[in-house]
């Protein structure tokens, strides 16, 4: 994990309450792995001086850019959404543990994302494709207004969109369209805890990785605000430091 100064180079609203920002990082002395998050200090003397964990949707280590995507869910993310191109941001990059991209001996991967759990899977999909791994993605959103990155994912492999209200794609939940994972070497999922529970239940016994979205405090392992019990009943893991990515069977949701 490294502290870096970043400049907001580009910003666009990509779906309801959802923003994509491109940050130019002064010195990218650590290259984040897919699933790691950026911990961004928000506010300058304002009420929202805490850092917020924000998903990384892409990294360009040559151009020194990070693409982040977040949904406005409170005062901090609302303030971040109002940053303007040229503003400077204080960012911790390379936070937490990401997906084990380098150590996978698989030919096909199934990616299952829900809502704001979708962005880290895009960076993951790109890295998997670089290694010749075939990628199929199932992306769930509340409504058509919330859908983003369908085209981006479709350039990397098969993609199926699910909306809860059926206003776009398949109506229902991602678990309604999950194929037999025996067709894949492993699955990778990120999204709300309810979705992760349903996915891991449905794919029980299959090799998979989950990334847990959780409201964090310090984000660096110091405050114990983000703990999750481990499956053997012997203690806990910190989502911000030991995760947010875990083996599917490692923790109890």
Minimum Å gap between C-beta 103 and ligand FES is: 25
- Is 218 annotated in a binding site? The answer is yes
Nearer to ligand FES by Cβ, of 120 and 219: the residue is: 219
Nearer to ligand FES by Cβ, of 138 and 251: the residue is: 251
- Is 95 annotated in a binding site? The answer is no
Minimum Å gap between C-beta 214 and ligand FES is: 8
Minimum Å gap between C-beta 56 and ligand FES is: 18
- Is 157 annotated in a binding site? The answer is no
Nearer to ligand FES by Cβ, of 22 and 242: the residue is: 242
Nearer to ligand FES by Cβ, of 174 and 216: the residue is: 216
CA-based torsion, 10, 15, 19, 23: positive or negative: negative
- Is 46 annotated in a binding site? The answer is no
Kindly compute the dihedral angle of the four CA atoms of residues 98, 99, 100, 101, in this order, to the nearest 10 degrees. Answer: -110
The helices-and-strands tally (H runs, E runs) of the chain is 4, 15
Helix (H, G, I), strand (E, B) or coil at 122: helix
Token duo for residue 59: 């990294």
For the sheet containing 208-212, what is the strand order? 170-171, 157-163, 134-141, 108-114, 186-191, 208-212, 245-247
| Backbone Cα Rg of the chain | 17
Nearer to ligand FES by Cβ, of 85 and 223: the residue is: 223
Distance of CA 181 to the CA centre of its chain: 21
Give all strands (DSSP E) within the chain, no chain letters: 2-15, 18-25, 37-41, 51-60, 65-71, 88-95, 108-114, 134-141, 157-163, 170-171, 186-191, 208-212, 227-229, 236-238, 245-247
- Is 52 annotated in a binding site? The answer is yes
Minimum Å gap between C-beta 79 and ligand FES is: 20
Nearer to ligand FES by Cβ, of 222 and 252: the residue is: 222
Contacts to ligand FES by CB under 6 A: 216-219, 221-226, 238, 240
Minimum Å gap between C-beta 243 and ligand FES is: 9
Minimum Å gap between C-beta 249 and ligand FES is: 22
- Is 220 annotated in a binding site? The answer is no
- Is 76 annotated in a binding site? The answer is yes
Annotated binding site for FAD: 52-55, 76-77
Annotated binding site: 52-55, 76-77, 218, 223, 226, 240
């Amino acid at each position: 994990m490294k502290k870096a100064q970043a400049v907001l180079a580009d910003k666009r609203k990509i779906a309801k309450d959802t923003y994509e920002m491109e940050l130019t990082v002064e010195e990218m002395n650590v290259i984040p792995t897919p699933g790691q998050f950026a911990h961004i200090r928000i506010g300058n003397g304002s009420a929202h001086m805490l850092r917020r964990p924000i998903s990384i949707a892409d990294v360009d280590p040559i151009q020194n850019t990070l693409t982040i995507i977040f949904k406005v869910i409170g005062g901090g993310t609302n303030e971040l959404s109002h940053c303007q191109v040229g503003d400077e941001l204080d960012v911790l990059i390379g936070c937490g543990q990401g997906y084990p991209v380098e150590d996978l001996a698989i030919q096909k991967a199934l990616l299952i994302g829900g809502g704001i759990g979708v962005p880290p899977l895009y960076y993951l999909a790109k890295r998997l494709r670089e290694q010749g791994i075939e990628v199929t993605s199932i992306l769930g959103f509340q409504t058509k207004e919330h859908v983003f990155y369908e085209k981006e994912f479709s350039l990397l492999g098969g993609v199926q969109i699910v909306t809860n209200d059926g206003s776009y794609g398949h109506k229902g939940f991602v678990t309604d369209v999950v194929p037999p994972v025996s067709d894949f070497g492993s699955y990778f999922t990120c999204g709300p805890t309810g979705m992760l529970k349903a996915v891991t239940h449905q794919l029980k016994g299959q090799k998979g990785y989950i990334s847990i979205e959780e409201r964090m405090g310090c984000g660096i392992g110091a405050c114990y605000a983000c703990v999750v019990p481990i499956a053997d009943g012997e203690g806990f893991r910190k989502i911000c430091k030991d995760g947010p990515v875990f083996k599917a069977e490692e923790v109890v949701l």
